[in-house]
Amino acid sequence: MKNKSMEFGIYTLGDHLSAPQSNERVHPSERIKQIIDMAVLAENEGLDVFALGESHQPQFASQAHTTILSAIAQATETIRISSGSTVLSTLDPVRLFEDFATIDNISRGRAEIIAGRGSRTGNFDVLGYDLNDYETLFEEKFDLLNQLNRNAVISWSGQHRPPLNNIEIHPRPFQATLPIWRAVGGHPASALKAGKAGVPMALATLAGSSEAFKETVDTWRTALSKYGHAANAIPLATTSLMYIGTTTEQAIYEAIQPFNHGLNAINGRGFPYRVFERARHYQDALMIGTVDLIVKKIVHQYTLFGHTRFLAQLDFGGIAKDQVEAMIKTYAREIVPRVRKKIDALNQ
């Protein structure tokens, strides 16, 4: 299945790291301003979506991501505003829905939620949740969030939060309902649950063969059909790190330092060199290379998945603001139009 249109955007985890060359770190207020400025630039460059993740580790400035998204809603006019992702397991779905419904009203109908379980588990200690409940917390809260989205008045009971008895939730979104996506890290089991629930899937395709993610996409679509959802009408997004260079060799060489600087700070380990070496091939999901190569990579993914949205992360690992802004412009002005043209040709 191929879709006739695709949305393009950028996302950031909101990482707050030192510059890999100087080891100097900007003030949190400056990092937050950089994130807001990125969203404004993305809109000015004609991109469709800006997404901001949530994390509660000291290497991030995105602990209160809904607050930053509210500032972005006020600073922009047309771009869609999304989380990327909200770690729902450690949040109250009622309060989260109220926050995003408010952002949706501020933005006049541009808010979305991408909800995930979270690959970083610092949230559990900070916000007082038991990591042993990792699976059940998310599934229960994701179900409640979707019910809140569909119903202005709700009665509900579960294991991890007090029941709701004929409670009216306000405000309601500016849109009829909020788009609520499920973030999936690549495991087919999570895709199966997204398909069963009939929700859009945002699939992280950070590295490795793009073909390796096809099973996950196929699992999601099969589940959509099996459980009576319109598989052809529900959006699918892929996301990846991106670094654009004038040559592929230059892009790989320059990306290694910030990417591994970020990965080491957050996860305690970076990518081995072979991951970067494989990125020179168009079948690889890691979006490092020239404009030509990255266009081929995104189009290749489209032929595999038929997805409706692609989000690039261009600011990971302490990359300087002016360099990030230059890559956003190259992405919007040179990569996106060429990908759209090639997709249009495939769908004729």
pLDDT digits (tens, 9 = 90+) for 152-161: 999 999 998 8
Determine the pLDDT at residue 303. 97
Domains of the chain, by residue range, sit at 7-346
What is d(CA 48, CA 204) in angstroms, rounded to the nearest whole number?
18
103 CA to centre of own chain: 17
According to the model, what pLDDT value does residue 134 have? Answer: 65
pLDDT higher than 80, residue 17: yes
Give the span between the Cα atoms of 7 and 1, in whole angstroms. Answer: 16
- Confidence class for position 44, pLDDT limits 50, 70, 90: very high
Alpha-carbon distance 114 to 33, whole Å? 22
How many of the other CB atoms lie within 10 Å of CB of 213?
A: 22
Contact between residue 210 and residue 175 where contact means Cβ atoms under 8 Å apart: no
pTM: 0.94
Q: What is the pLDDT of residues 138-153, one digit of tens each?
A: 999 999 999 999 999 9
Neighbours of 194 (CB within 10 A): 25
CATH 3.20.20.30 for the 7-346 domain, yes or no: yes
For residue 2, is pLDDT > 50?
no
Q: Name the residue with higher pLDDT: 121 or 32.
A: 32
CA angle 293, 297, 298 (to 5 degrees): 120
Mean per-residue pLDDT of the chain: 93
So what's the pLDDT on residue 1?
37
The helix/strand/coil state of 71 is: helix
Which residues are paired to 89 by β-bridges?
none
**What distance in Å separates the CA atoms of residue 15 and residue 346, rounded to the nearest whole number?**
37
Looking at residue 130, its pLDDT comes to 62
Phi, then psi, of 230 in degrees rounded to 5: -80, 90
pLDDT at residue number 125: 64
Rounded Cα distance, 122 and 87, in Å = 11
**Helix or strand or coil: residue 10?**
strand
Q: What integer is the mean pLDDT of 227-254? A: 96
pLDDT surpassing 50 at residue 331: yes
pLDDT of residue 56: 87
Residue 119: band (very low, low, confident or very high) from pLDDT cuts 50, 70, 90 = low
How far apart CA 286 and CA 45 sit, in angstroms, is 23
CA angle, 203 then 180 then 189, to 5°: 45
Alpha-carbon gap, residue 336 to 330, rounded angstroms = 9
Side chain identity at 312, as an amino acid letter? A
Work out the percent of the chain whose per-residue pLDDT is above 70: 94
Task: Please give the structure tokens belonging to residue 99.
Answer: 């926050």
pLDDT digits (tens, 9 = 90+) for 64-74: 999 999 999 99
Q: What is the average pLDDT across 205-212?
A: 94
In three-state secondary structure terms, 327 is helix
Banded pLDDT at 3 (limits 50, 70, 90): very low
